[in-house]
Amino acid sequence: MQINRLTQRVLFWQITIPILMLTLGIYHGLMQVLYRAGIVQSASFLGLEYYQGLTLHGVINAIVVTTFFITAFGHTLIIYYLKKELHPGLVLSSFLTMLIGTVAAAWAILAGKATVLYTFYPPLMAHPAFYIGAVLIVVGSWIGLYSWIKPYLQWRKENPDTKIPLAVVGIFSTFIVWFIATLPVAYEILFMLLPWSLGWIDEVNVMLARTLFWFFGHPLVYFWLLPAYIMYYVMLPKLAGGKLFSDRAGRIVFYLFIVLSIPVGVHHQFADPAITQGLKMMHTVLTFGVAVPSIITAFTMAASLEYAGRQRGATGLLNWMGKLPFFDRERYLFAYLISGLIIFIFGGLTGLVNASYSMNMVIHNTAWLPGHFHLTVAGPAFLAILGGSIHLVSKLSGKEIKLKSWNVLVPYVWLLGLMLFSSGLMLGGLEGEPRRTNLGLTYTNPDSPLFRADWITYVHVTMVGGIIMTISALMYFSVFFTTLLGKKSFEPTVEFASSESYHDEPRVGWLDTFTPWIILAVIIILIAYIPAIMDVLENTGPGSPTFSPNSPIPIKPGY
């Protein structure tokens, strides 16, 4: 479908700029593994110290690349599936707001004034520019969501009896979760951290800030994951040569994420004081609840892939897997999506371990955690973003993808590296290896107070995995940037492989509306979070002075 020239250009840059920034994010990931393994004595050759490099790695990879791509992906889905143009001015202002926010936050990090990691927990304090930057990135994504509402309402008026396209259900569900979840973190930043950083207030309630962050922080992961789920339900069956086993299952999954993504955040705080056990138990139960839509997805995807394999002539019990187009260079998006799905088997199962209160006490704040979240964020979410980015940048620029053989191998090399990387971290974590710990030394240095001989093997396995992941990323950057340097050979467009549903499922009202699901979500959120906030306000003492990771004593408020 042809799109407005300005919209096309904005979308092209909204996808290209994060991939350019990703080169820095990947570099600092590599330097982390080399430094922790004692191979290099600095965690960054760009003059950044360990926590600065880690903050840059987390903010670029987990906040910037994701938010830019997911908003751009949403624009293209609305254009393609509703056959509606977007207001170019809104698309542009959404992009510019996110870009200005990114520059502000990146300046603060690179200037060494925001070494607070991607969770920016107080009493670590950042420069006001970091917090303002974070707010602008979120507001830019809200403008993106706002730009879809009018075209959607117009489409509904014109098509009162047509099922909302599944991709549109998916992207609106993603952004409904995102919009609700960003409200508490907007409060945390605008009314707590920013005035504190400006020196207007001397202290901040650390527990309240943490609780508001995780009120936002766990639904944040579904903001990252759901675009991959949209590709799984809408594109993967078609790419595999089959049909989606159940369109209705897909709708129910997206609506369940609206209802259950948010009231679970206390599961990041099982070890925190101030929050009562009963409440932690409630969030545990709800966390197992939010795993249900993913388990439905596992079975729906397996059924859809089996159908595709049988369409390709498979007859045995399992040999349908061998019939799938793993190395088809034209259907390369299949490779990115199936790799993400395979990784997510482990990412999801380790999430269930995290959610088990007693097992969480073993793994909390250990290297297990980055093992889990690289199997989730850097698995299905990141691979869908890479596959989606190369697909869209090719379509939006009218340029054929170059190095096609490399392109289809990228996700499998990444999968190999990531499995090694995460295994090393999780096995080390089970042996007590801490996360986010520097002390300026490495675990493999016998003189280090952190030295533990039994961690050395795991740290080295993690390093080998990280190097393989870097090789995959370099292959991807080669494909991406040689494609950009290629000649235009077709008219820029937006198009997606779209699966038919295996079962002919007529439209049902309760699966074709967002309202009841939003109401249910708000009710459960109030039940899960009013007591949490009350606990925190009742059980925490005076606020904390400011600390920096580089100074063991409080520093004066404000930068």
- Of 32, 147, 360, 470, which one interacts with ligand HAS (CB under 6 A)? 360
Smaller CB distance to ligand HAS: residue 237 or 465?
237
Name residues contacting ligand HAS, limited to 215-234 (CB under 6 A): 221, 224-225
Does the protein bind ligand HAS through residue 323 (CB under 6 A)?
A: no
Q: How far is the CB of 318 from ligand HAS (least distance, A)?
A: 9
Smaller CB distance to ligand HAS: residue 7 or 438?
438
Contact map string, positions 260 to 289, toward ligand HAS, x by CB under 6 A: -------xx------------------x--
Q: At what angle do helices 88-110 and 65-82 cross, to 10 degrees?
A: 170
530: CB partners within 8 A, 6+ apart: none
Which of these segments, 29-37, 336-344, 519-527, 549-557, binds ligand HAS (CB under 6 A)?
336-344
Q: How far is the CB of 122 from ligand HAS (least distance, A)?
A: 15
Does the protein bind ligand HAS through residue 9 (CB under 6 A)?
A: no
Q: What are phi and psi of 501, to 5 degrees?
A: -90, 140
Distance from C-alpha of 427 to C-alpha of 421, rounded to nearest angstrom: 10
Three-state DSSP at 547 gives strand
Does the protein bind ligand HAS through residue 302 (CB under 6 A)?
A: yes
Smaller CB distance to ligand HAS: residue 174 or 294?
294
Q: Go through the chain and tell me how many residues it has.
A: 559
Does the protein bind ligand HAS through residue 348 (CB under 6 A)?
A: yes
Does the protein bind ligand HAS through residue 198 (CB under 6 A)?
A: no
314: CB partners within 8 A, 6+ apart: 320, 322, 323
**What is the enclosing helix (H) or strand (E) of 551?**
strand 551-555
Pick from 245, 332, 335: nearest CA to 297: 245
- Of 342, 416, 456, 555, which one interacts with ligand HAS (CB under 6 A)? 342
Q: What is the DSSP string of 162-202?
A: SPPPHHHHHHHHHHHHHHHHHHHHHHIIIIIIHHHHTTSSS
Does the protein bind ligand HAS through residue 361 (CB under 6 A)?
A: no
- Of 124, 240, 369, 528, which one interacts with ligand HAS (CB under 6 A)? 369
Q: How far is the CB of 533 from ligand HAS (least distance, A)?
A: 19
Number of residues that bind ligand HAS (CB under 6 A): 35
Smaller CB distance to ligand HAS: residue 61 or 76?
61
Smaller CB distance to ligand HAS: residue 67 or 483?
67
Q: In angstroms, what CA-CA distances link 292 with 249, 404, 552?
A: 12, 37, 43
Name residues contacting ligand HAS, limited to 381-440 (CB under 6 A): 381
Q: In angstroms, what CA-CA distances link 309 with 315, 487, 544?
A: 9, 36, 59
Name residues contacting ligand HAS, limited to 459-498 (CB under 6 A): none
User: Which residues are known catalytic residues?
Assistant: 218, 222, 372-374, 435-436
Type of residue found at 374: H
Please compute, for residue 83, the number of CA atoms within 13 A of its CA located in the half-sphere on the CB side.
5
Q: In angstroms, what CA-CA distances link 412 with 240, 270, 311?
A: 17, 35, 24
Q: Which residue has the tokens 């991939």?
A: 19
What number of other Cβ atoms are within 10 A of residue 523's Cβ? 12
Does the protein bind ligand HAS through residue 364 (CB under 6 A)?
A: yes
What residue ranges bind ligand HAS (CB under 6 A)? 119, 221, 224-225, 267-268, 287, 290-291, 294-295, 297-298, 301-302, 305, 321, 338, 341-342, 344-345, 348, 351-352, 354-355, 360, 364, 369, 372-373, 376-377, 381
